[in-house]
Chains A and B, each alone.
Chain A
Amino acid sequence: MSIAVRNLTKLYGEQKAIDGISFDVKTGEILGFLGPNGAGKTTTMKIITCYMPPNAGTVEVDGLNIEEHSLAVRRKIGYLPENNPLYHEMNVLEYLEYAAELHGMQRSHIQHRIKEMVHVCGLETVRHKDIGELSKGFRQRVGLAQAMIHDPDVLILDEPTSGLDPNQIVEIRNLIKQLGRAKTVILSTHILPEVQATCDRVLIINEGKIVADGTPEQLQQEFRGSESLTLELLTNGADALQQISPKLRALHGVGSVELLGQKNGTARFMLHVEKGADVRADVFRKAVVEGWVILEMHRKATTLEEVFHKLTAG
């Protein structure tokens, strides 16, 4: 079940919430939607789920246009909105039954399916409780259970782990991964490790535009270049700023050298390394020649966090 988004634009008054974005999601893919708050993630999801129409552009879910075949599209989608709104006065079973009925499921099939979802989402112990009494983690599971009650081919989850504690986050993440195997999933988040942990592909969106698209590894590759090397040396009396820095700077592949600090005859440097270069061996040889003792050498590769920061800040 594929999703094709073409030149999607949505205006809130004068302001462009999303600005001509296009992307595809293939069947069985888990797509992570990444971006700072207000970037347009939620808006995009609201459009795909037929909550509101775009000002321009089209979305097709399994070849069906969301505006022309709204009901048919909604039948295929399971949606967990932002902040996971639920009816607090209903109990878990009642609510799941209601969600199933609204999806037009067969009476005979509903009870069986509810049992299955309660089991999969780990809701056995709270199934007779009012949703208002549940902890945030359980509510999130109820939200997931209602989104999947009709066994949709497409799952759209808006910040499925927001507000959960670290243990719950891992649980929900595993649940999504496990359930997402046979489905097309779009999930939004601003928690970066989440994307690395769950998603096949990442889409970074900023100010309504897509700024990066690829697997987490690809993005890290692509936006390298700002790789850095932390170095701590026993200087043997040499002046760190005057004598050592220029020599390090002279090594092939080193972009710039920063003195982070020195004390008790040791000095810490940060070497900014040019894209694709690996200067560790050269640093070692230089140290041997100069008689410095390397106490620490640590290479820091670009993380997705830095990619994100680079693409979306200022």
Chain B
Amino acid sequence: MKAFPNILPIFRRELKSYFNSPVAYVVIVVFLAILGWFFSNNLFLNNVASLYIIFDSPLVRILFLVIAPAITMRLLAEELKSGTIELLTTKPVKDVEIIVGKFLAAWVVLGAALLPTFLYVLTMAFLGSIDVGAVFSGYLGLLLMGGVFIALGLLASSLTENQIVAFILGFIFVFALFMIDKVLPYLPTFMASTLEFMGVDFHYSSIARGVIDSRNLIYFASILFFSLMLATVSLERRKW
């Protein structure tokens, strides 16, 4: 942190700004409402006490496809539009600090949406027994995947000063990453294993199953790193 002292103030400002505006609340409420509906249906109508809805069904991941770009769309697009980016970049701040600070704030907002789902976990623990290891790896998987989505959304937000365009672009990015391994049946077999490895769901499923393999971690880390790097480069476009 010594070499990047400005990540913290930028992170704090962004986080405050999320909770000062309706964005974070709307996103969190929508997420919880939809998730809660399916979870309680499963619990009360089907009489199944399980965390399947959260960790195994694709529901949370599909919701992430929408809420991650919704969280990130304003991050840079807003500053590019209003011109505050000029204030920020003419302060003694490195571009990478701006990107990382904003990324972390948006990631925390996504995490905040996930946090109340822990109540479901507690409910399940109360009703029956839960596999603590599975819960841990499930949350880890969701957080990692969410982080990758947020990083891609931030990249999208750096490419335009229009928030709607940023949202749509971000959605396209994360949707592509999500869909890569879903189109396997239509492709020649020699491409299958490569594409499967590129799909985000494949790695999520491994981790959620409890296989916290370095390959999966490296996958998430490299996409995250790559997206943030591209976003930094994109922020430096003003210099071209």
Using CB atoms and an 8 Å cutoff, list the residues of chain A in contact with chain B.
46, 49-53, 71-72, 74-75, 77, 79, 81-83, 85-90, 94, 98-99, 101-104, 146
Contact = CB atoms under 8 A, between A and B. Distances in A.
B18 to A, nearest CB: 10
B5 A104 contact: yes
Contacts of A103: 91-92
A77 B90 contact: yes
Contacts of A86: 84, 87
Nearest to A98: B13
A51 B238 contact: yes
Contacts of B9: 98, 101-102
A146 B87 CA distance: 10
9 contacts: A50-B89, A79-B87, A82-B83, A85-B86, A101-B6, A102-B9, A102-B92, A102-B93, A104-B5
A101 B238 CA distance: 24
Interface in B94-147: 94
The 9 closest A-B pairs by CB, nearest first: A85-B83, A101-B9, A102-B91, A74-B92, A49-B90, A85-B84, A75-B92, A81-B86, A71-B92
Interface residues of B, number: 23
A86 B21 CA distance: 16
Contacts of A49: 90
Nearest to A76: B92
Contacts of B239: 52-53
Given A94-B16, A104-B5, 4 more contacts: A81-B83, A85-B87, A102-B9, A103-B91
Contacts of B90: 49-51, 74, 77, 79, 81
By DSSP majority rule, is chain A's interface helix, strand, loop, or mixed? loop
Interface of B: 5-6, 9-10, 13, 16-17, 20-21, 82-84, 86-94, 238-239
Contacts of A146: 87
Contact of B87 (A50, A53, A81): A81
A90 B86 CA distance: 17
Contacts of B21: 89
Contacts of B16: 90, 94
Contacts of A85: 82-84, 86-87
Nearest to A146: B87
Given A89-B20, A102-B6, A46 B91 contact: no
B17 A51 contact: no
A97 B145 CA distance: 34
Contacts of A74: 90-93
A85 B9 CA distance: 19
Nearest to A88: B82
A52 B238 contact: yes
Contacts of A51: 86, 89-90, 238
A89 B17 contact: yes
Contacts of A88: 82
A87 B21 CA distance: 12
With a 10 A CB-CB cut-off, give which of A77, A81, A87 has the most chain B CB atoms. A87
A181 to B, nearest CB: 24
A59 to B, nearest CB: 13
B76 to A, nearest CB: 13
A99 B89 CA distance: 12
Contacts of B5: 104
